[in-house]
Amino acid sequence: MNHDPIHAPRPSLRGWLISLGIAALVSTGPVAARPDDSEQPILIEADEVEVLESERTSIYVGQVQVDQGSMQLRGDHVTVHHREDRRPRLIIALGAPASFRQLMDDNEGEVLAFARRMEYDADKDELTLIDEALLIQGADRLTGERIVYDRARAHFRAGGGGRVQITITPDEATEP
């Protein structure tokens, strides 16, 4: 039995997504992504790759996995737009769903994200989840049609073409 949360079946989001344009701004607190992840080398695996040097773009197709430090991105189709120095500027992942996982700083667990489309903007250090988006941190869950996750500050906002649902689980109280 597969206990990997990236590949675990997830519940249908249809019941959570009711049509209403609403936006929410939520902060998860001081928990942030590991700062050294962005300094690590990037490893990309796929069934096929096409590199368009003149356009500074590479296209990966088939069971694509992108690893950098504790960060992992998976999708069926991933396009990477590069800077002149070959570092990624924009990564677009498509899947049914595409998935993201990253360990948090100070052993605070991990962030998991799922969506049909994910866009990672390296300049802003933001991951945008589009279409049936789900963001999980610990026992807290956020669903919506569009979620923008600021990895460096562990902030997110959600809204767009559907209702946003947030489940916040309080920390267990400790007795003095």
The rounded distance, in Å, linking the Cα atoms of 54 and 72 is 27
34 domain-assigned = yes
The answer to whether residue 3 sits within a structural domain is no
- The CATH number that applies at residue 68 is 2.60.450.10
Q: Is residue 12 part of a domain?
A: no
The answer to whether position 13 is within a domain reads no
**Number of domains forming the structure of the chain:** 1
Close Cβ partners of 116 (under 8 Å, ≥ 6 residues apart) = 94, 95, 96, 97, 98, 130, 131, 132
Task: Compute how many other C-beta atoms are within 10 angstroms of the C-beta atom of residue 49.
Answer: 15
User: Which of 51-55, 85-89, 106-110, 167-171 has the weakest average pLDDT?
Assistant: 106-110
In a domain, 14, yes or no: no
- pLDDT (mean) for 68-94: 93
Q: Which domain holds residue 85?
A: 23-167
Per the prediction, the chain carries an average pLDDT of 77
Tell whether 174 is covered by a domain.
no
Q: What does pTM read for this prediction?
A: 0.73
10 assigned to some structural domain:
no
pLDDT of residue 44: 93
